[in-house]
Structure 1
């Protein structure tokens, strides 16, 4: 009897492995194999396909690459400014949309979420024309007599950064809002009723109840937004092309330039790519520690 049960259990395990074998194979083939190949490529130097193993030469070059550090500085500026603003907006909007007294909630939720399902290229091109020197934004501000002359949204280093931050915030706030909204709907309403009975005001309820209960979602959205910002490419490429000069150059665009715009240097591009991996690991670890999540 034991032998029969053992055989049945082995067959069940084999069946389970057969079900997931295809998915495991595809993940290994399209995820882990390219990652390993990119890591090996980062130790090679040469133009185009004429590559040869050169040890840590690319990593030494990375530490003295001024363009790389400019791209890192720009990317971290977007990260430090845009991610907290977006998370706060997403949280506040989700709280408003979770109000049972609000009418047409479905319409507002759809309208705010809609930007994140639009084409990255299409919306970037639209923003480029909206914020052009003779674009709709400047025309509106001039007609309202807020400005006396157009703002150089694309050609001025400071305003180009502002344009990118506005574009990213517009697109991804609704995406993060969905996570906060789903979490808010799982909070027992009796907690807020008890707080109101105790005389807690709306702001006090928000900071003492809502924010602590949303802590896992805040951590999750912060980490995913950090990863997304470190990989920022489409908006930069289509709105400012990294300009003016290198004022809005991101790390991902620099990788693209190394691979396809300049003389192809795939080995060094792979090295820069792995710098993003290291940054993501370090920042995610710091965010988890700062959030006090010991799990």
Structure 2
């Protein structure tokens, strides 16, 4: 009974929309007329005819493959190091590292840093030291756009997963380390692999889900930094493609097929991550 309100809200605002999106992905729907059955035509168009979607898939996979694992390991590494500090210093550093992920105007810093004129910090520094002779169009040149997007996302990545790891490290039973020393554990790395990580499996799984979702669902950073759409679609992702068809063109059936493909990619990645995390401590 106590969990019934949560399940009601979860079913209404998560399960039902996901099921409706899956059903709408097989229709033509523009919000003004009733949906009409389209079969597999949306998926055929998506995978065979939509060249921009293929660019978005490539960018998203590359982005997720780099930012996902690196940000996940960085979250745990910083949490592990901070956990060894005195309580007051630990609380201060936790706030400092977590702050960028909740700051509303944080992207303004990166816009100033990579501004395309000579007053941008990156251009000003490189020109003053003679590395370049004229300003670089950092946020308009397709050669640099995805790399900048990855750097910014890594800087923003110390968010919820970082806090979950801090909490998990704080709750590890200290007597387990004493028992481990009796059983033959001799250094900190063995403690980490055989005691700390197995004791933190719930937090590790939660952090993995959050990081995977963040990596695959990147859109806001790309839109605010690189524009919408970005030059030559160099910063285009699956979510920005979904925004294009769902909120601008109002082709909701086609947008639902994009959402379904994205959901499938995230689900498969989560299942693979769960399988890998089960081997921790073996």
TM tier relative to shorter chain:
0.7 to 0.9
| Aligned equivalent of 1:61 | 45
| Aligned equivalent of 1:255 | 242
- Report Cα offsets for 1:231-290 as digits up to 9, x if no partner: 2111111111252211110111001111233x4311101111111111122111111122
| Aligned equivalent of 1:52 | 36
Distance 1:200 1:136, change over 3 A: farther
| Aligned equivalent of 2:277 | 291
1:29-178 equivalent positions in 2, closer than 5 A: 29-45=12-28, 49-50=32-33, 51-64=35-48, 65-100=50-85, 104-119=89-104, 122-134=105-117, 135-143=120-128, 145=129, 147-149=131-133, 150-178=135-163
Specify the SS of the correspondent of 2:232.
coil
| Aligned equivalent of 1:10 | none
Is contact 1:75-1:250 (8 Å) kept?
Answer: yes
Q: CA deviation at 1:207?
A: 5.2
> Distance between the aligned counterparts of 1:275 and 1:286, measured in 2?
17
Is contact 1:87-1:218 (8 Å) kept?
Answer: no
Instruction: List alignment gaps of at least 5 residues for structure 2.
Output: none
CA RMSD after TM alignment? 3.0
Deviates further, 26-35 or 87-96: 26-35
- Report Cα offsets for 1:56-91 as digits up to 9, x if no partner: 211221221221111111111111101111112112
> Distance between the aligned counterparts of 1:109 and 1:136, measured in 2?
28
> Distance between the aligned counterparts of 1:279 and 1:36, measured in 2?
17
> Distance between the aligned counterparts of 2:87 and 2:16, measured in 1?
50
Instruction: List alignment gaps of at least 5 residues for structure 1.
Output: 1-15
Is contact 2:28-2:251 (8 Å) kept?
Answer: yes
Specify the SS of the correspondent of 2:158.
helix
| Aligned equivalent of 1:3 | none
Q: TM-score, normalised by structure 1?
A: 0.79
Distance 1:282 1:188, change over 3 A: same
Q: CA deviation at 1:293?
A: 6.3
What is the aligned length? 272
Is contact 1:125-1:238 (8 Å) kept?
Answer: no
1:265 lines up with 2:251 in the alignment: yes
The structure with the largest alpha-carbon Rg is 1
Distance 1:47 1:214, change over 3 A: closer
> Distance between the aligned counterparts of 1:138 and 1:53, measured in 2?
53
Query: Which residue, 230, 234, 254 being the options, matches 1:243?
Result: 230
Query: Which residue, 265, 268, 272 being the options, matches 1:282?
Result: 268
